A and B are shown apart, each in its own frame.
Chain A
Amino acid sequence: MIAVRDQRDKTAFAQLFDFYAPRLKAMAVRTGMRSDEAEDIVQEVLLTAWRKAAQFDPERAQVSSWIYQIARNRQVDLVRKERRPVPEELKLPDADDEDANQVLGLEQETSQLKAALSTLSEDQRIVVEKAYLGELSHSEIRDVTGLPLGTIKSRIRLGLERLRHELKELR
């Protein structure tokens, strides 16, 4: 993704496509779309990822969560036929100022989160999947937020929060 962002590397982008396109398609099909409609979404989402690559900040997001976010925005726009309200973008740090420790920290915490996800029971895993694919209402999600992912998720949150405070002081 960094190569896509900094060098506009199409080969790297093709690799992203190979990994994410089939998964994005699966995500769209889950919402009841026909295969060809789902593929349209896949194209739109990945084209957006290419075009907005300059906004990708590995200190704050994993590639997967960044693409997830673009996909959810697109899906909501389509269902509602209007723009989903999205938060203001933060200013990005200069690429030179990118803090390798922060990037690494987020990566490590994400893999811990991934490990935690894999220890969930099948039932819990299904609920998490439903929740993050938009199939549960906010009242139904209340039960999910109590799952044993909480601790690691909080660590990610606190890490990001710390980063924000530092960014604020830089500005």
Chain B
Amino acid sequence: MSDIKHHIPENLIAAYASGALGHHFALVVATHVSMCTQCRAALAAHETIGGLVLEDLDAQPVSMGVKSNLMAQLDAPIEVEPAPKRMGAYPGPVMGALGGDVPKWRSLGFGSKQSILHNDATGSVRLLFIPPGQAMPDHGHNGLELTLVLQGSFHDEDGAFGVGDVEVADEDVEHTPIAGNGPPCICLAATDAPLRFSGLVPRILQPLFRI
């Protein structure tokens, strides 16, 4: 695995550990953690604090029947759902969101494609596929946006992002990510604003041979 340089911010990892992070960002965090030793350890450290908080809560008496009921279930046969497995560039959590299937791509023009995994009033998360050298389609983000590279790379005003790197952009960030040379860039991108479908016209070619 390549060296990951851009990580998930600490507060998002803590929010993920506590369950407070919205579904869309949670998918990006779970996926990045699947790829990143450092953030996996950071998450475990937050869960350690969570465990201490749990230990410290004022105990609430539990009804008599609960324990016997539970003990009686211990020998019941177990149906454990197998965890979704990584497939190619897509780590387990992404495969889970895809329902174990390959992405259903929709063209955004000029070879770019997207596959929306989830979109509701609280935000969206999707896969983006950008051919080498192409700009990411304009996706005018309103709130916070996390973009995690699953394959290939991209670069913009904030630097270069390779496999496993996450770019964290808020609405103030004006950036034009361009896919690097090499394999097509596949990203997992989440925002806490719903997608504006009308605005999904790709920003045309401005970047193509700009340099």
- Residues in A lying within 8 Å of B, measured CB to CB: 10, 13-14, 17-18, 20-27, 29-30, 35-36, 38-39, 42-43, 46-47, 50-52, 60-69, 71-73, 75-76, 80, 82-90, 110, 113-114, 117, 128-129, 131-139, 141-142, 144-145, 149, 153-154, 156-161, 164-165, 168
Contacts and interface: CB of A to CB of B under 8 A. Distances in A.
Given A21-B66, A65-B48, 19 more contacts: A10-B71, A13-B71, A17-B70, A22-B61, A39-B62, A47-B74, A51-B80, A60-B44, A72-B50, A73-B19, A85-B30, A86-B30, A86-B93, A87-B40, A88-B86, A128-B49, A144-B11, A156-B45, A161-B41
Contacts of B52: 64-65, 110, 113-114, 117
A65 B55 CA distance: 9
A25 B73 contact: no
Q: Is the interface of A mostly helix, strand, loop or mixed?
A: helix
A-B pairs with the 5 shortest C-beta distances? Answer: A64-B51, A65-B51, A22-B59, A138-B15, A160-B41
Contact of A141 (B15, B30, B69, B83): B15
Contacts of A67: 51, 54
A22 B61 CA distance: 6
Contacts of B73: 43, 47
B181 interface: no
B54 A42 contact: no
Interface in B24-56: 25-27, 29-31, 33-34, 37-38, 40-56
Contacts of A168: 37
A136 B93 CA distance: 24
A7 B55 CA distance: 25
B90 to A, nearest CB: 11
Nearest to B42: A157
B174 interface: no
A51 B54 CA distance: 21
Interface of B: 10-12, 14-15, 17-21, 23, 25-27, 29-31, 33-34, 37-38, 40-63, 66-67, 69-71, 73-74, 78, 80, 83, 86, 91-93, 96-97
Q: Is the interface of B mostly helix, strand, loop or mixed?
A: helix
Contacts of A50: 74
A87 B78 contact: no
B19 A76 contact: yes
B40 A141 contact: no
Given A85-B30, A134-B18, A157-B41, A23 B55 contact: yes
Contacts of A27: 54, 57
A68 B27 contact: no
Contacts of B38: 157, 161
Given A65-B47, A141-B15, A144-B14, A164 B41 contact: yes
Given A61-B48, A85-B23, A142-B11, A39 B63 contact: yes
The winner among B30, B55, B58, B63 for most chain A CB atoms within 10 A is B55
B128 to A, nearest CB: 18
The winner among A52, A68, A89, A138 for most chain B CB atoms within 10 A is A138
A129 B209 CA distance: 52
